[in-house]
Amino acid sequence: MTDPILKGPILKVQGLNKHFGGVVATDNLDFDVEPGEIHAVIGPNGAGKTTFVAQIAGMIKSDSGSIMFDGGEIAGLSAHARSRRGLARSFQITSIFKEFTVIENVAMSIQAHDGHSFRFWRRANTDPALMDPARALLDRVGLGARAEIVASNLAHGEQRQLEIAMALATGPKLLLLDEPTAGMGPEDSQSMAAFLRDIKGEYSMLLIEHDMDTVFALADRITVLVYGRAIATGTPEEIRGNDEVRAAYLGEEA
């Protein structure tokens, strides 16, 4: 699928718009993610960050704009088709299969990318083609010991880890992470940040995050979103030194 001649950003968003009634959620947004890079999006509450992720992932249809991913236009595709192209997301509000075991949750992601599922007869939860890679992935994110536990019984921090594991299990080219540390205590947050640093370079990432320490430690580039508009994009140092950003956002925090 990758066009060898058009080497460039893995994700390139141009002129993206979304209105809800009279409210502008995304305002003519341009955005890109280079291969292997972590591009973070920050902004005050209500800036339209989650809407932006949902638009890229295909849960919300955009009013207009282009979303080029891995050399192809995906703006018209459904969420599941985008996932098949190699786009994976995690949710700000934990979205897992609560009634299933941890390993079944991950196996579900693997199954989604292992051909069609019109397979009616063989047992799925003993199928090594699903369970072996699921177990390997759980070991990697540190949930190996919790594999057989029903997901709803996991602690909050563990559920957030599972959330990421399910995204990784789809074998993505780009990860859309919507506040991976949401609701976590400082200790869990730090281990999540450490994990993300660990897989950095392996995956391209669009990271939405509230915790500034995490963002400035991880991101290669940062875009500041205010009322659906990108007011600045740059390296962490450039963003720190940007007066407009300071006025609109960081100033408030300080």
The one among 124, 147, 199, 212 contacting other proteins by CB under 8 A: 124
Q: Going edge to edge, which strands form the sheet with 87-90?
A: 87-90, 174-178, 204-208, 38-42, 221-226, 229-234
**Which residues on adjacent β-strands are paired with residue 16?**
29
CA distance 37 to 218: 10
Question: Exposed (0-12), middle (13-18) or buried (19+): which is 106, by Cβ within 10 Å?
Answer: buried
CA distance 65 to 15: 5
Kindly state the smallest distance separating residue 223's Cβ from other proteins, in Å. 23
Tokens of 103: 């390993």
Subset of 30-59 contacting other proteins (CB under 8 A): 57, 59
Q: What are phi and psi of 169, to 5 degrees?
A: -65, -15
Q: What's the distance, CA 109 to chain centroid?
A: 15
Of 7 and 118, the one with the shorter C-beta distance to other proteins is 118
The one among 61, 98, 156, 197 contacting other proteins by CB under 8 A: 98
Kindly state the smallest distance separating residue 234's Cβ from other proteins, in Å. 30
Of 29-37, 63-71, 120-128, 228-236, the segment contacting other proteins by CB under 8 A is 120-128
Where do we find the tokens 């339209």?
Answer: 48
Subset of 54-83 contacting other proteins (CB under 8 A): 57, 59, 78-81, 83
Of 175 and 232, the one with the shorter C-beta distance to other proteins is 175
**Is the separation of the CB atoms in 205 and 196 below 8 Å?**
yes
The SS3 call for residue 50 is helix
Residue 21 lies near other proteins (rule: CB under 8 A): yes
Number of residues that bind other proteins (CB under 8 A): 41
**Is the separation of the CB atoms in 90 and 168 below 8 Å?**
no
Kindly state the smallest distance separating residue 240's Cβ from other proteins, in Å. 33
Of 182 and 222, the one with the shorter C-beta distance to other proteins is 182
Residue 112 lies near other proteins (rule: CB under 8 A): yes
Residue 88 lies near other proteins (rule: CB under 8 A): yes
Kindly state the smallest distance separating residue 113's Cβ from other proteins, in Å. 6
Q: Residue numbers of the site for other proteins (CB under 8 A)?
A: 20-21, 57, 59, 78-81, 83-84, 88-89, 91, 95-100, 104, 107-109, 111-113, 117-125, 127, 130, 166-167, 169-170
